[in-house]
Amino acid sequence: MNTLARNAAHAFGENRLTLVAVVILALLVLCAIFGPSLAPYDPLMTDGAARLVPPSAAHPFGTDALGRDILSRVIVAARLDLGMAVAAALLSFVGGLALGAIAGYFGGWPDRIISRVMDTIMAFPLFVLAMGIVAALGNSVLNVIVATVIINLPFYCRFARSEVNVRREMGYVEAARMGGNTALPVLVTYIVPNILPPMMVQVSLNMGWAILNAAGLSFIGLGVRPPTPEWGIMVSEGASFIISGEWWTFVFPGAALVLAVFCFNLLGDGLRDLLDPKRRT
């Protein structure tokens, strides 16, 4: 723990933006956990008399076309957007790691089958593929997560395959085999732990992509259904008021979306500095 703390202090000292990312992430997590309690209004409550009210003391982010408080909706939406991103990133990480490790260690027909499946997924524009999956399965949070997992699976699978393929012939792996370990214990105990640090960096970056993917699907009407508070839906609903001048209806949800993606990208850089020994020298 002392070594990890020293490395973290070094990473934060060398790159102050990493500390900024951690602070932003902490605020987003607080909004995700305590969102309904922190929101000043019910995010689903409509008020025709307060329709399209600009930012004020009563409504710091203004109200939308139905009189709903935008600040409350932005806060509450953090739980859904972060939840989808975390679920999609973790599932694609676990699935890609398992498939890539099998392909890289055993080679042969498992490698050929897994590689061809990943190549098939990568052959499509990924957002278009996500659109097709959600359109076929239906608009729901679960289906958005499934689509995001599928389009992100090849990134983890290819990375794990290449790393395992390099390490399977190294001396410590050969020594583990000579010690009587079978293929699965060697893979799980000696190889996979050594490829986890660089893959964790990819998880952080991938969470930003997952948020963008979910928001993009909602923006075009293929994601979460209204009136559920979700950043992509709010940007889509506010976009129709760009010309008429009600800028707050899309600026604040869009800023929350940009801030979340920015946070995870910065966090990925920080994790790279923290976990890569070459960057700490």
20-72 pLDDT, tens digit per residue, is: 888 888 999 999 999 889 999 999 998 888 888 999 999 999 999 899 999 99
Q: Helical H runs in the chain?
A: 2-14, 16-38, 70-106, 108-122, 126-137, 141-167, 171-178, 183-185, 192-219, 231-239, 248-275
Residue 279 has pLDDT above 80, yes or no: no
- Domain assignment of residue 162, yes or no: yes
- Domain assignment of residue 47, yes or no: no
- Domain assignment of residue 53, yes or no: no
Domain count within the chain: 1
- Domain assignment of residue 48, yes or no: no
- What is the average pLDDT score of the chain? 85
- Domain assignment of residue 137, yes or no: yes
Tens-digit pLDDT profile for residues 92-147:
999 999 999 999 888 889 899 999 999 999 998 989 999 999 999 888 889 999 99
Mean pLDDT of 254-263: 90
Token pair 């996500």 in the structure block, residue: 130
- Domain assignment of residue 141, yes or no: yes
Domain span at residue 13 reads 2-21+29-41+62-280
- Domain assignment of residue 55, yes or no: no
CA distance 30 to 10: 26
Q: What pLDDT score was predicted for residue 116?
A: 93
- Domain assignment of residue 125, yes or no: yes
Interaxial angle between packed helices 16-38 and 70-106, expressed in degrees from 0 to 180 and rounded to the nearest 10: 120
Residue 4 has pLDDT above 60, yes or no: no
Q: What is the CATH number of the domain that holds 267?
A: 1.10.3720.10
Q: What pLDDT score was predicted for residue 49?
A: 86
Give the pTM: 0.85
Residue 270 has pLDDT above 80, yes or no: no
CA distance 165 to 177: 16
